[in-house]
Structure 1
Amino acid sequence: MRRWIWGVAVLAVIGMGCAGYLLKPVSGPARDLTLVGDVTRGNYLIRLGGCVACHTDAKVDGGFLAGGPGLATQFGTFVPPNITSDKTAGIGSWTLAQFSDAMSNGMGPRGNLYPVFPYEHYTLMSDQEIVDLYAALMATEPVSTHAPASQIAFPFNIRLAMSAWKNLFFSPGRFEPEAGKSEIYNRGKYLAFGPAHCVACHSPRNALGALDWDQALAGSPGGVGGKAPALTRAALVEEGYDVDSLAQTLEDGFTPGFDVLGAAMGEVIADSTSHWTLEDRQAVASYLLAE
């Protein structure tokens, strides 16, 4: 009997220790939020970060950044919210600190955010970029329409459970340039892994929706990010791309094989990459095609 009691006690201690680890807050380095935001730079970041494609439902003309179409996953359907400056339906009542916490640590005013919102990529952004983006969003035209509620299956609808996901799979921090590489290479890598989050769609994920970082940009067979081709150098060269042609495709959607990219990538091009500077399109292309 005594051994049984001790066994239960040991299991209870282990269980509490695991729970304490998995449910602890996850946060990265503190940000300097005393910086002055620039709306013009922030408006570019709205396009750079893919905010328009996700948070605008062009099919129903719901308003710019007023909420996007639902994203169906094996965990439920996630509806991108209204991120206009409206204080009730949007994020107009958020403080800069709250916005920074959401972008950097995946923590919103109501608790943990689901990683379908790519905070694991936005966390790489600089302090100035976070402040600029906040300034631009606070300057948007407010839209008072609430986005529909997401339909998330149990137990994934328990936000506290996301603490465990974050402790297992999320390491918040800022982008660190790769030593010995050129400025354009590192800019492209930053965009692909950071705000542009190409890696989010073009990489496989595990059963819990976490990216397989060892297979980054190797393509996705489906699941949370949908089906997406590989963006490795070998795959791109096989499709006939060089740096200039890939940068051109990111602007107009025409491929070297005289095809036109449509569906989700077509939306990304129309709402995001076609608005980038030529230098940023070339930077991403240079990184992806680097030997």
Structure 2
Amino acid sequence: MRRALLSVAVVALVGAGAAWWLTAPDNLPASALDGVTGDAGRGQVLFAAAGCGSCHIAPGAEETDSPVLSGGRRFATQFGTFVAPNISPSPQGIGDWSDYQVVNAVMRGVDDEGRHLYPAFPWNAYNKATVQDVADIVAYIRTLPPSDAGSLPHELSFPFDIRQSLGGWKLLFEHRDWVLQGDLTPEQERGRYLVEALGHCGECHTPRNALGGLDRSAWLAGAPDPAGKGRVPNITPAGLDWSEDDIVTMLQSGFTPDYDVVGGEMAQVVRNTAQLSDEDRAAIAAYLKAVPPVESTAPQPGAGDSTAEEGTASDEGDS
């Protein structure tokens, strides 16, 4: 009996050790930023493309050319409520983080203490960005005003409050490959980068399974709003029959071909895409026309839709 109990204990310890190892953070290589210098000027446009301010500016705060990324915005989901943290260049934000720690958080979903970040922060899209682009964004954020606001904790119930379990989630649902594969034009490839990586449009426009993993077989086919307020629309060619010029116009001005104006979260997305170049907006349109059509019951984009291409919650700090 003693031997049997000892065997069971050894197996349990080995199993626990293996589980801990499998769910441990997968950090960027320590050399990832070797030879990389962030460019704040270039990072300003990339910051807009990535939608960082859309989530990290305090609720109700006035948007300016120098946003204060004090956090505090709340995002209700079926798993609980996530609260965007302070990511300003202050000790309460990311001021004491190294560039490597910030880039690692954005691209691997791991904070400065080595803890997993929740996928409410779209690192599962940013993991396809280039290290140079993320470093440029970090350089720009460091030029913005600091805020001494403390980051508020997420409001999650058991077992979703166990961060180590996110390592298992990553094993199941993290994807570092592109959704749209095949022979693409340079313009479509650029659009893919903007939509699938920096813009992380799929984080809201793609349905999820019961554990919150993206259903990539229905890429961009629309999904329930995570806060329970209607649906995010289908933007594949099966749901969005606009021309490329129509899409470009909407991304620049917010006006639709039906003489309407986008509203809800999409209005914030347009404020971001309006800062991109004409070529980048055209690339996004070319990509959206190239993705496979997927039928769904999601509504067409319009003035009252709850679209949110900037993501469910973009927590670049303690998410």
Q: TM-score range by the shorter chain?
A: 0.7 to 0.9
Which one scores higher on RCO, CA 8 angstroms, separation ≥ 6?
Answer: 2
Find the counterpart in structure 2 of residue 31 from structure 1: 32
| CA shift for structure 1 position 33 | 3.7
User: What CA distance in whole angstroms lies between the structure 1 residues aligned with 2:36 and 2:10?
Assistant: 50
Q: Which amino acid aligns with 1:167?
A: L
1:106, distance to aligned residue in structure 2 (A): 0.5
Counterpart for residue 256 of structure 2: 255
Structure 2 SS opposite 1:71: strand
Greater CA deviation, 30-39 or 72-81? 30-39
Give the 3 Å change call, closer, same or farther, for CA 14–67 of structure 1 in structure 2: same
Structure 2 unaligned spans of 5+ = 292-319
Q: Which one of 74, 84, 101 corresponds to residue 70 of structure 1?
A: 74
CA distance in 2, matches of 1:224, 1:33: 41
CA-to-partner distance for each residue in 1:210-245, whole Å, 9 max, x for gaps? 1111111111123379731111012111xxx10011
What's the CA shift for 1:134? Answer: 1.4
Q: Which residue matches 1:265?
A: 266
Q: In the alignment, which residue of structure 1 is the partner of 2:286? A: 286
Output the amino acid matched with 1:181: L
Output the CA distance in 2 between the equivalents of 1:117 and 1:33. 26
Which region of structure 1 is more displaced relative to structure 2, 4-13 or 205-214?
A: 4-13
My pick for the range that moved more, 62-71 or 109-118, is 62-71
Query: What CA deviation, in whole Å up to 9, does each residue of 1:77-113 have, x standing for no partner?
Result: 1111111111x22111110110121011100013111
The structure-2 alpha-carbon separation of the partners of 1:208 and 1:165, relative to structure 1 and needing over 3 Å to count, comes to: same
Whole-angstrom distance in 1 between the partners of 2:228 and 2:37:
34
- In 2, the alpha carbon distance for the partners of 1:258 and 1:85 equals 41
TM-score normalized with structure 2 length: 0.80
| Contact 1:38/1:135 (8 A) holds in 2 | yes
Higher normalized helix content (fraction of residues):
1
- Picking from 218, 223, 244, the partner of 2:226 is 223
Q: 1:285 and 1:158, CA in 2 relative to 1: closer, same or farther beyond 3 A? A: same
2:50 maps to which residue? Answer: 49
User: Number of aligned pairs?
Assistant: 285
Quick check: 1:236 aligned with 2:246?
A: no
What is residue 208 of structure 1 aligned with on the other side?
211
SS of 2:166's partner is helix
What residue in structure 1 maps to residue 303 of structure 2? none
Distance 2:148 2:5 in 1: 58
Instruction: State the 1:31 CA deviation.
Output: 2.2
- Normalising by structure 1, report the TM-score: 0.87
Structure 2 residue corresponding to 1:99, chosen from 99, 102, 117:
102
User: Which secondary structure state, in structure 2, belongs to the residue aligned with residue 154 of structure 1?
Assistant: coil
**Paired amino acid for 2:129:** M
Please report how far the alpha carbon of residue 35 of structure 1 lies from its aligned counterpart in structure 2 after TM superposition. Answer: 1.3
Equivalences for residues 138-217 of structure 1 within 5 A? 138-172=142-176, 178-217=181-220
Amino acid at match of 1:136: Y
Q: CA deviation at 1:259?
A: 1.9
* Counterpart amino acid of residue 199 in structure 2: A
- Structure 1: how far apart are the matches of 2:213 and 2:94? 27
Q: In the aligned structure 2, how far is the partner of 1:5 from the partner of 1:23?
A: 27
Uncovered stretches (5+) of structure 1, i.e. residues with no partner: none
Paired residue type of 1:277: S
Is the deviation greater in 9-18 or in 218-227?
9-18
SS in 2 for 1:72: strand
Q: CA deviation at 1:290?
A: 2.4
Asked if 1:122 corresponds to 2:123, the answer is no
Q: Is the contact made by 1:203 and 1:219 (CA closer than 8 Å) also made in structure 2?
A: yes
Identity of aligned residues (%): 37
Q: Which moved more, 1:72-81 or 1:150-159?
A: 150-159
CA distance in 2, matches of 1:201, 1:144: 30
Q: What is the root-mean-square deviation in Å for CA atoms of aligned residues?
A: 2.8
Secondary structure of 2:76's counterpart equals strand
Confirm or deny: 8 A CA contact 1:33 1:96 kept in the other structure. Answer: no
